[in-house]
Amino acid sequence: MSTDAAVPYLEINNVEVIYDHVILVLKGVSLKVPRGGIVALLGANGAGKSTTLKSISNLLRAERGEVTKGSIHFKGDRVDRMTPSDLVKRGVIQVMEGRHCFAHLSVEENLLAGAYTRGHARAEIRAGLEKVYHYFPRLKQRRGSQAGYTSGGEQQMCAIGRALMARPEMILLDEPSMGLAPQIVEEIFEIVKDLNRSEGVGFLLAEQNTLVALRYADFGYILENGRVVMEGAAAELAANEDVKEFYLGLSGEGRKSFRDVKHYRRRKRWLS
Amino acid sequence: MLYREAGQFKASYQADQQIFPIRQDRVGFSLVLAFFFLLVPAVANQYWLQAILIPVLIFSLAALGLNILTGYAGQLSLGSAAFMAVGAFAAYNFMLRVPGMPFLLALVLGGLCAAAVGVAFGLPSLRIKGFYLAVATLAAQFFIIWALTKFPWFSNHSASGVISTQAVVILGYAFDTPASKYLLTLSVVALLALLAKNMVRSSTGRAWMAVRDMDVAAEVIGIRPLHAKLSAFAVSSFYCGVAGALYAYTYLGTVEPEGFNLDLSFKILFMIIIGGVGSILGAFLGAAFIVLLPIFLDNIIPQLFGGLLSSSFSSNLQLIVFGGLIIFFLIVEPHGLARLWQIGKEKLRLWPFPH
Amino acid sequence: MNDIASAVREQAPPAGHAGRIGGVVLDLQGISLSFGGVKALTDISFDVREHEIRSIIGPNGAGKSSMLNVINGVYHPQQGRILFRGEERRRMEPHRAAAQGIARTFQNIALFKGMSVLDNIMTGRNLKMRCGLLRHALYWGPAQREEIAHRLKVEEIIDFLEIQGIRKTPVGRLPYGLQKRVELGRALAAEPSLLLLDEPMAGMNVEEKQDMCRFILDVNDQFGTTIVLIEHDMGVVMDISDRVVVLDYGRKIGDGPPDEVKRNPEVIAAYLGAAH
Amino acid sequence: QEQFIGLPSYRVGPYAAGGSGIYGGWIDYMTLINERDGGINGVKLTWEECETEYNNARGVECYERLKGKGPTGNTTFQPLSTGITYSVLEKVAQDKIPMVTIGYGRTDAADGRVFPWVFPMISTYWSQASGMVKFIGGKVGGLEQLKGKKIVYLYHDSAFGKEGIPLMEQSAQKYGFTLKQIPVAHPGNEQQAQWLQIRQEKPDYVILWGWGVMNPTALRAAARSGYPRDRIVGGWWSGSEEDTIPAGDAAKGYISANLSGVGTGFPVIQEVQKHVYARNKGNMEDKNRVGSVYYNRGIVHGILTVEAIRTAQQKFGAGKPMTGEQVRWGFEHLNLDADHLARLGATGLLPELKVSCADHEGAGKVKFQQWDGSKWLPLTDWIEADRAQVRGLIEASAGAYAKEKGVTPRDCSKEP
Amino acid sequence: MQFFFEVLIGGLLSGVLYALVALGFVLIYKASGVFNFAQGAMVFFAALSFVGFQEVLQRWGLPAAPAFWLAFVLTLGAMVVLGILTERIVLRPLVNQPPITLFMATIGLTYLVEGIAQGIWGANVRGLDLGIADEPVEWVMESAGLLVSRFDVFAAAMAGALVLSLALFFQYTRTGRALRAVADDHQAALSIGIPLQRIWAIVWAVAGFVALVAGLIWGARNGVQFALTYTALKALPVLILGGFTSVPGAIVGGLIVGASEKLAEVYIGPMVGGGIESWFPYVLALAFLLLRPEGLFGEKHIDRV
Ligand SMILES: Nc1ncnc2c1ncn2[C@@H]1O[C@H](COP(=O)(O)OP(=O)(O)OP(=O)(O)O)[C@@H](O)[C@H]1O
Ligand SMILES: Nc1ncnc2c1ncn2[C@@H]1O[C@H](COP(=O)(O)OP(=O)(O)OP(=O)(O)O)[C@@H](O)[C@H]1O
Ligand SMILES: [Mg+2]
Ligand SMILES: [Mg+2]
């Protein structure tokens, strides 16, 4: 792996997660996000990406999962026993997979709820709101409608915007591109890049859209079956033959048409 | 590694669709059945039969009924006691008014009456959901009890509104001892539990569960929500009705409408939640838990604290401990005792490895 | 539908796919739908032909999902006519649509969370099952035979989708991508003639998308099922669809074969962006 | 040498106030017998409480649990709940345990020929209703003056509330008053509608056949609609401190029936104070409740139970624990005349009582009392019900039961 | 006609009392999606603690007025502690569980609270005097000949004030918004840093305060006794009529239920033998629900595919 000179901002060490007391999902995952880095977490369905993110943001307990081994540090402090709320205050926030907007609140109320940890700083919150609207003009149009009635993509924007309202230093983004129109996907990643560059916000991205993720990330980890099976700089990963074939859909002669792919082709796996 | 299915292969779908596909479970279950059918009546004393086992069985049946409605079809109801009342009073009136009425037929007819009433009160479920429906089912609870009290015909003009049941005779054999009543109850409950299991593992049950989990999606794949919900109401009320009739005939002997009050409805609800929503086994475990726990506490608490506590306080302490244990169990396993059992089995399967 | 999986393995997709496309099955004329003030669909017309893969694309909030909801009766449009197999209908209940052979999957997975994969797919066959409650209660004889007959069909689907290993797993525990696959299985179980897929490949990596495409194409080829597909992955849409409709803010801005749509400047501006 | 008595009590929930009073008095009296007399002829009384929560199923469990305890098993079962009474009605006969139901339970069980094992002693609901009619008759200047009067029967809409109706209807015909029945739905914590109706009806008297929170609510509502409280006559489940204190001033002047005397003025209660409370063995947590209506009713339960055992011992052997069957005999031959009551220090606490094979009620008398704003004051001496009328109804009802159940009534002339 | 108005007004006023209890339910439901069955027990607990403290304080020689206020403060403190403990012991471990589980937990809580209340303060029935006479307002009596109780008017005013302040709180404050967010999706609320724990503790404490007000008013009306827990039953039809999530709905629902059940009892009751108050409000509410399944003012259930 390429050595990171910067202090690891977020560091998780050998984390093991068990759901329901019996289902072992993460089998010792370690990864690092350097200050101001964008790190992609890749892997097939069920590899444990979301679980990793939830173990960082401490949302596991609500799903009857627990971290049974390992440690998680943020800026040098151990955070795996903290409440999600304290974590958000410290600047780590997760955007959950599958949107999770507050259905009965209007879009704007959703965003305002995101600013909860910021207390009563009205002017700042207004400014934050404007920034989100600037990033997502579509949300401004729908600001008054109940979030439950907006389209899937709008909800995704709402969820990301809501997280931004907390002025995080580190965002755990779980499948941001899911269900978004290609243009918006680009836009969202541009926003990620922008936030990262201008405000130094760190990102840990769990993403299926490997192509885009590796384009924007600095570093990547590939997770399979609850274990990290490969890690490296984004460019290195993108050049790796296996990654190319399984994650980017590129074979020797470039991208194959989806129509022509044979589905009986057995996959090679790193593990399992 | 005693509990493993390794090495047990199912050659046909028929085998795979058995109630207990794993051999150990089959053996275990047969032993349980043998225990309750053969050993218990032989050795249990009257107290156990009459005061513990019969009510546990009857409540299990009612809980099973509610579990079909709430656990499988997802319709929360607070009116189960009222449906029990319908079953009890209907069976009584069939026995009373139809000469030569066989008991088992009266039992079934009582259940059917309850089912009809259940369907009537289930009609709003098409539009009303969740707790709104739950509260709306209170209409059934209060209305039915009111009607049974108000119209003396139901209780054969008994001044106090109380009915005392006729003797239970089947094919000339009188069920009048605790052991025989127990066996009768057990047989009915076991049979109905089997039927319930069959229903929930066939397409009827799947339709119920589909409506429960997501009714829009269920409708989109062609399940008629009204049909599914009403059939759940009917079956559920039938079970409650039969339980009510047994409650009157094999357990108490005399019942009054007020005996089937809201408290009883709640109690049945506790049973399914503590036992496990959407589980047949859960209905039994829950009923046993809710019936036995207070008795256990009533025995144990005065003994533990003997002279230390006044009797009022020890009674209140029972209540406190009861409430506390309910919360405790929910926290330990929100999906009920049945799930706990399942997790236990899963651990056993992996044993001696933790995962 | 004998052992589809292996049949497919031996068969390359038929070359003359386009040739098999038949007449119009579903014809939508002047559909308008609004919710309070929000106009989700404005005067949309398009048709779907027998055996074709018809994609609907458009930016988020364009009204694509609403369109599917109109087709299978979850939403009732304020205006417009729907002709399905020549039969006009204004108001349709979803379960009636299902009975006529329309099945679908959902954008936000709508599986029955409390049930196993097998049971979920079995519910898809509910429409085809004839036994009533009493027979089920007894479970002996006809009910059991029926159950097993349908189980066979469902097992074929399970094989086809390669989800044998998770047959008995509660769907709630499955990762997202597998859930999508199960949902497809449930829709297939009804042996539909028209299959509506709402973003079946969202949240999948390329490999899984390839699998999913394969399944969709196979279904289309093997059973001649007509497919209406909503998808944001342009690679997929352009590769596998026969014709594409483009919606934007409830209006139709493009309709035609992929190549044509791809070049439509309005579509590029509204949806694809310059990159494509 | 011990005599075991199972107490299916309730000390939690809505019934706790009544339960703790009655069981407190009862246990205190048994403690008194043990402490002062060393038991009944040397046989110590032992007891065990079993919490029923006033719930039928739990009552049955308690019945079965207590049944076999003590050297001779449980010897009397007094559930203080009509529901439980019904639930064990047939069991007590099988198990040969006499069941005593004072002021509740199955009214027609007063016919001892059909119900040999059940003793609804002192008074049944019908005796109470009849006593009320007599009392109101007395108020208006004689029963014949009832003609043309209007009485409202305001009742808890339940089996319990309806108990008084047959007798009231019969009496209305007999004496020519108009009877208007107004039900109150359980629990009765809102009676706006009923009292507006009463205000419109303008009855001469209101009979309050209520239970629990319904009683204070009724008094409040009466006050608010300006109906004079001293023309409301309550039943004995509407006439305790628990019913009036919550109503505050609104209860002042309210009259109710009672089947025991009220206050601490009875020698027996002084004895309890002396031998039990002074030695810190009292059962009441709140000593101020000694002498309250429910407490005294508990003492009455104690007296009747103890005297029945004593009576049984006289026949079957003094100083021995009695079996249930023997205690039943004791109940059936209980004869508490004035002398006997005086000896017990209970004159006025309970009426003279003579139980017989056919008549398990024994007295059929009620007293009336009035609330002065802070305590109950005796208003009348024992008023005897129209026993012929009551007996007629009882026998008819018991006869119907016997027929339905195929029971042959005992022939009392052949009883020992 | 006079009589009709009397019944109507009496009904409306008692409806307000129902609303007072319903409010406690709404509060908690709106904030945590929990159907709090223990609300009735909390009303009982509050009233019982209040008179209990009052008794104790007076026994220590405090004069009536300070004893009243001190008891009020102490009870409020007790309710806040109860709220915080509930959050700690019951809700926190059950985050993200299905509503029915939480509902069940509150039933467990009901037992707990009832047992504690009677365990500490005994089962005695007590009176409670708020110093407001329960007698007809004279000028109404004179001018219109209608019976309107002064006490009921006072209670109605209290309820009105509570409803107004709570409605404003939910709609316009940061915490109010957070509460609604929590009710929608526990996990998402957690993820954006809303401290569920604190929010719930606040809500339960406020619900405790509402329970205290309801307990005082109902206790003063009917005495402080176990039956106070039944007030919850009266609140249920109000709740479904008005909608579980609407504060103003509680009032409107209360008025409708109160007025209609009284009118029904008086005018329809005699035809069927009376006592229909037990079920009439439920049937009425059911009829309303058929038209609007989420109650008159409740939030529409959003279910999209
Ligand atoms: N609440 C839960 N209870 C039990 N098992 C769970 C739970 N949540 C997730 N799992 C299991 O944990 C594994 C990892 O799930 P996770 O959601 O982390 O995967 P993922 O990599 O995010 O996949 P996807 O790309 O589909 O989102 C899966 O196999 C899943 O079945
Ligand atoms: N039931 C509803 N009530 C109110 N508005 C609705 C409803 N359903 C859809 N809408 C609105 O209609 C518009 C179209 O929504 P739709 O879900 O069809 O979009 P979509 O094209 O599927 O978008 P996406 O790609 O993001 O899924 C959106 O603005 C949405 O807010
Ligand atoms: Mg994930
Ligand atoms: Mg969509």
Write a three-state SS string for E186-250: HHHHHHCCCCHHHHHHHHHHHHHHHHHHHHHHHHHHHCECHHHHHHHHHHHHHHHHHCCCCHHHH
Query: How far is C-alpha C108 from the geometric centre of its chain's CA atoms?
Result: 13
In the predicted model, is pLDDT for residue A4 greater than 60? Answer: no
Which member of B127, B143, B326 has the closest CB to residue E107? B326
- What residue type is assigned to position C216 of the chain? I
Q: How far is the CA of B179 from the centre of ligand 1 (A)?
A: 51
Mean of pLDDT values over E13-18: 88
Query: Would you state the pLDDT for residue A136?
Result: 87
Is the CB of A55 inside 8 Å of chain C's CB atoms?
no
- Segments in A15-150 forming alpha helices (H): 49-57, 84-90, 107-114, 122-135, 137-141
Query: Would you state the pLDDT for residue B54?
Result: 95
Q: How far is the CA of A148 from the centre of ligand 1 (A)?
A: 25
Between positions 85 and 144 of C, the ones with CB within 8 A of E are: 106-108, 110
Pairing of strands A92-95, A170-174: parallel
Mean of pLDDT values over A120-141: 88
At C1, the pLDDT band (50, 70, 90 cuts) reads: very low
Residue carrying the six token digits 């109507």: E8
In the predicted model, is pLDDT for residue C2 greater than 60? Answer: no
Sheet containing strand C243-248, strands side by side: C102-104, C194-198, C226-230, C53-57, C243-248, C251-256
Q: Compare D362 and C92 and report the one with higher pLDDT.
A: D362
Angle at A254 between CA A252 and CA A256, to 5 degrees: 105
Radius of gyration of chain B (CA): 21
Mean of pLDDT values over A222-239: 89
Q: Compare D137 and C90 and report the one with higher pLDDT.
A: D137
Query: Would you state the pLDDT for residue C11?
Result: 42
At E125, the pLDDT band (50, 70, 90 cuts) reads: confident
In the predicted model, is pLDDT for residue B352 greater than 70? Answer: no
In the predicted model, is pLDDT for residue E92 greater than 60? Answer: yes
Angle at A154 between CA A149 and CA A158, to 5 degrees: 100
* Buried-state track D213-242, b at ≥16 Cβ within 10 A, e below 16: bbbbbbbbbbbbbebebebbbbbbbbbbbb
Average pLDDT of chain A, as a whole number? 84
At B24, the pLDDT band (50, 70, 90 cuts) reads: confident
Residue A71 lies in a domain: no
Average pLDDT of chain E, as a whole number? 87
In the predicted model, is pLDDT for residue C276 greater than 60? Answer: no
Phi, psi dihedral angles at C28 (to 5 degrees): -110, 130
- What residue type is assigned to position A67 of the chain? V
Cα distance between residue C28 and residue C84, in whole Å: 9
In the predicted model, is pLDDT for residue D129 greater than 80? Answer: yes
List of residues 6+ apart from B348 with CB closer than 8 A: B2, B3
Query: How far is C-alpha E167 from the geometric centre of its chain's CA atoms?
Result: 15
Q: Compare A259 and B122 and report the one with higher pLDDT.
A: B122
Cα distance between residue D200 and residue D203, in whole Å: 9
Mean of pLDDT values over B42-69: 93
Cα distance between residue D203 and residue D146, in whole Å: 12
Does the complex come out with an ipTM higher than 0.90? no
In the predicted model, is pLDDT for residue A6 greater than 70? Answer: no
At D175, the pLDDT band (50, 70, 90 cuts) reads: very high
- For B350, nearest residue in chain A (alpha carbons): A22
Q: Identify whether the C-beta of residue B79 lies closer than 8 Å to the C-beta of residue B121.
A: yes
Task: Give residue A253's domain range.
Answer: 240-272
Cα distance between residue D158 and residue D84, in whole Å: 15
pLDDT tens-place string over residues A160-180: 999 999 989 999 999 888 878
Q: Identify whether the C-beta of residue B73 lies closer than 8 Å to the C-beta of residue D91.
A: no
> Which residue, judged by its Cα, is nearest atom 14 of ligand 1?
A48
CATH 1.10.287 fits E2-291, yes or no: no
- Segments in E60-149 forming alpha helices (H): 64-85, 99-121, 138-144
In the predicted model, is pLDDT for residue A247 greater than 80? Answer: no
Query: Would you state the pLDDT for residue D82?
Result: 87
At A5, the pLDDT band (50, 70, 90 cuts) reads: very low
The verdict on a CB contact (< 8 Å) between D285 and B312 is yes
Residues of chain C neighbouring A44 (CB-CB closer than 8 A)? 177, 205, 207-208
> A64 CA to chain B: closest CA distance, Å?
10
Q: Please, is B54 exposed, middle or buried when counting C-beta atoms within 10 Å of its C-beta (0-12, 13-18, 19+)? A: buried
What is the sign of the dihedral through the CA atoms of C19, C212, C185 and B68?
negative
In the predicted model, is pLDDT for residue B242 greater than 90? Answer: yes
Query: Would you state the pLDDT for residue A264?
Result: 46
Continuous segment of H or E residues that includes residue C221: helix C206-223
In Å, the largest CA–CA distance within chain A is 59
In the predicted model, is pLDDT for residue E224 greater than 60? Answer: yes
Average pLDDT of chain C, as a whole number? 85
At B240, the pLDDT band (50, 70, 90 cuts) reads: very high
Mean of pLDDT values over E84-96: 86
Query: Would you state the pLDDT for residue C6?
Result: 44
Pair of tokens at residue D180: 């208007």
> A216 CA to chain E: closest CA distance, Å?
24
Question: CB within 6 Å of ligand 1 — which residues?
Answer: A 19-20, 23, 25, 43, 45-51, 63, 65, 97, 208; C 173-177, 203
Mean of pLDDT values over B61-69: 96
At D262, the pLDDT band (50, 70, 90 cuts) reads: very high
Mean of pLDDT values over D348-359: 94
List of residues 6+ apart from D300 with CB closer than 8 A: D25, D102, D122, D259, D260, D346, D349, D350
Orientation of helix A152-164 relative to helix A122-135, angle to 10°: 140
Number of residues that this document lists for chain B: 355
Cα distance between residue C105 and residue C154, in whole Å: 17
- What residue type is assigned to position B340 of the chain? L
Residues β-bridged to residue A250: A255
Choose among E299, E187, E304, E20: nearest CA to B132.
E299
Residues of chain E neighbouring A53 (CB-CB closer than 8 A)? none
Phi, psi dihedral angles at B334 (to 5 degrees): -60, -20
Number of alpha carbons in the 13 Å side-chain half-sphere of residue C166: 22
Is the CB of E132 inside 8 Å of chain D's CB atoms?
no
Query: Would you state the pLDDT for residue A7?
Result: 63
Query: Considering A167, A183, A214, which residue would you say is the last residue of a domain?
Result: A167
Mean of pLDDT values over B66-77: 93
* Buried-state track E164-185, b at ≥16 Cβ within 10 A, e below 16: eebbeebeeeebbbbbbbbbbb
In the predicted model, is pLDDT for residue D405 greater than 90? Answer: no
Query: Would you state the pLDDT for residue D236?
Result: 95
pLDDT tens-place string over residues C115-137: 999 999 999 998 888 888 888 88
List of residues 6+ apart from B350 with CB closer than 8 A: A22
In the predicted model, is pLDDT for residue A232 greater than 80? Answer: yes
* Count of CB atoms situated within 10 Å of the CB of A28: 14
Give the highest mean pLDDT range of B183-187, B200-204, B349-353, E240-244. B183-187
Choose among A138, A221, A143, A220: nearest CA to A181.
A138
Number of alpha carbons in the 13 Å side-chain half-sphere of residue A234: 16
Average pLDDT of chain B, as a whole number? 88
Pair of tokens at residue D220: 């409040």
In the predicted model, is pLDDT for residue D172 greater than 90? Answer: yes
Q: Identify whether the C-beta of residue D289 lies closer than 8 Å to the C-beta of residue E124.
A: yes
Number of domains in chain A: 2
Pair of tokens at residue B113: 């009456």
pLDDT tens-place string over residues A56-96: 998 888 788 889 999 999 988 888 888 888 999 999 999 98
Q: Identify whether the C-beta of residue E263 lies closer than 8 Å to the C-beta of residue E8.
A: yes
Query: Would you state the pLDDT for residue A253?
Result: 59
Query: How far is C-alpha D332 from the geometric centre of its chain's CA atoms?
Result: 18
CA dist D12 to C142, D55, D271, D366, E113, Å? 54, 11, 29, 29, 12
At C33, the pLDDT band (50, 70, 90 cuts) reads: very high
Query: Would you state the pLDDT for residue C19?
Result: 62
Model pTM score? 0.90
Query: Would you state the pLDDT for residue A249?
Result: 67
At E303, the pLDDT band (50, 70, 90 cuts) reads: low
Pair of tokens at residue B118: 């259940």
Continuous segment of H or E residues that includes residue D165: helix D165-175
Share of chain A above pLDDT 90, in %: 30
Query: Would you state the pLDDT for residue C194?
Result: 94
Which CATH code fits B36-350? 1.10.3470
Cα distance between residue B129 and residue E302, in whole Å: 12
Cα distance between residue E149 and residue D226, in whole Å: 11
Is the CB of C36 inside 8 Å of chain E's CB atoms?
no
Pairing of strands D205-209, D232-234: parallel
* Count of CB atoms situated within 10 Å of the CB of A229: 16
Residues β-bridged to residue E97: none
> Which residue, judged by its Cα, is nearest atom 1 of ligand 2?
A149
Radius of gyration of chain E (CA): 20
pLDDT tens-place string over residues C201-246: 887 878 788 888 888 998 998 888 999 999 988 888 989 999 999 9
Cα distance between residue E131 and residue B228, in whole Å: 56
Whole-angstrom distance between the N-terminal and C-terminal Cα of chain E? 53
Query: Would you state the pLDDT for residue D116?
Result: 95
Classify domain C3-101+192-272 at the CATH topology level. Answer: Rossmann fold (3.40.50)
> Which residue, judged by its Cα, is nearest atom 2 of ligand 2?
A149
Q: For an interface test with A, which of C210, C217, C219, C242 has the most A Cβ atoms less than 10 Å from its Cβ?
A: C210
In the predicted model, is pLDDT for residue C8 greater than 60? Answer: no
Q: Identify whether the C-beta of residue B210 lies closer than 8 Å to the C-beta of residue B90.
A: no
